Amino acid sequence: MRIKQSDFIISAVQRHQYPIDNRVEIAFVGRSNVGKSSLINSLTNRKKLAKVSQTPGKTRLVNFFLINNDFHLVDLPGYGYAKVSKKEKESWGRTVEMYLTGREELKRVVLLVDSRHKPTEDDILMHTWIKHFGYDVTIVATKSDKLTKNNLKKSEVIIRETLKLTQEDKLYFFSSLTKKGKDELIDNLFLDLATDID
């Protein structure tokens, strides 16, 4: 499919601010600085659709974007920033849990991990959390341009073992810099959920 249109809808703080148009939602989540905003901007061909926070770990908003006037892409707050206080971490947890709990429109969660590093305890917890809520989860390993082919294979083994993925679990490597495999990734993330397919 082709993403022809992408529009910012709202930055929500409370549940009552979420869109209520019954469109399917696909949420993106990952550590601060994992490249979430860059990935969203790459997939939508918009340089500044998802804004990069100047202060990692500070965002506490759930951002909704309308794609092809068909479904919502949801950008969840980044986690795991070392300088964030315990209170702020709890705030992040409440924000994400509030969104994940009983959100019927949410059909898939895309968990971003850094391809150069072993998934962190926060990544493992997030993956477990998504599974606990019963959502379909896809893993995208970012910044893959930094690795050689040999190291990409090693990274895949480490990610699958650390997150306890099966061979059926979906794992994709992507670089927002080279955009290699972008069309394939778009199809795998969105095609079976979108109703207006080109």
Question: Which pLDDT belongs to residue 102?
Answer: 82
Q: pLDDT averaged over the chain?
A: 88
Q: For residue 79, what are its two tokens?
A: 């986690």
As a whole-number percent, the residues of the chain with pLDDT over 70 amount to 90
Q: How confident is the model at residue 93 (pLDDT cuts 50, 70, 90)?
A: confident
User: Taking CA 140 as the corner, what is the angle to CA 150 and CA 41, rounded to the nearest 5 degrees?
Assistant: 115
Q: For 60-98, b where at least 16 C-beta lie within 10 A, e where not — what string?
A: ebbbbbbbbebbbbbbbbbbbbeebeeeeeeebeebbeb
Full-prediction pTM beyond 0.85? yes
In angstroms, the CA 135 to CA 14 distance is 21
- What mean pLDDT comes out for the span 148-162? 96
9-23, 24-38, 55-69: the lowest-pLDDT one: 55-69
H-only helix segments in 28-176: 36-44, 86-100, 121-132, 149-162
Asked if residues 34 and 112 have their Cβ atoms less than 8 Å apart, the reply is: yes
**pLDDT of residue 56 exceeding 60:** no
pLDDT tens per residue across span 117-143: 999 999 999 999 899 888 999 999 999
Q: Where are the domains of the chain?
A: 6-190
| CATH code of the domain made up of 6-190 | 3.40.50.300
Asked if residues 136 and 109 have their Cβ atoms less than 8 Å apart, the reply is: yes
Question: Which pLDDT belongs to residue 48?
Answer: 84
Strands 62-67 and 25-30: unpaired
- Structure-model confidence comparison of residues 57 and 96, the more confident one: 96
Question: Which pLDDT belongs to residue 196?
Answer: 46
Neighbouring residues of 195: CB distance < 8 A, sequence distance ≥ 6? 24, 70, 71
- What mean pLDDT comes out for the span 15-23? 93
**pLDDT of residue 57 exceeding 60:** no
In angstroms, the CA 15 to CA 84 distance is 24
Residue whose entry in the numeric block shows the structure tokens 């148009």: 21
CA nearest to 96, candidates 73, 79, 113, 119 = 79
In angstroms, the CA 102 to CA 105 distance is 9
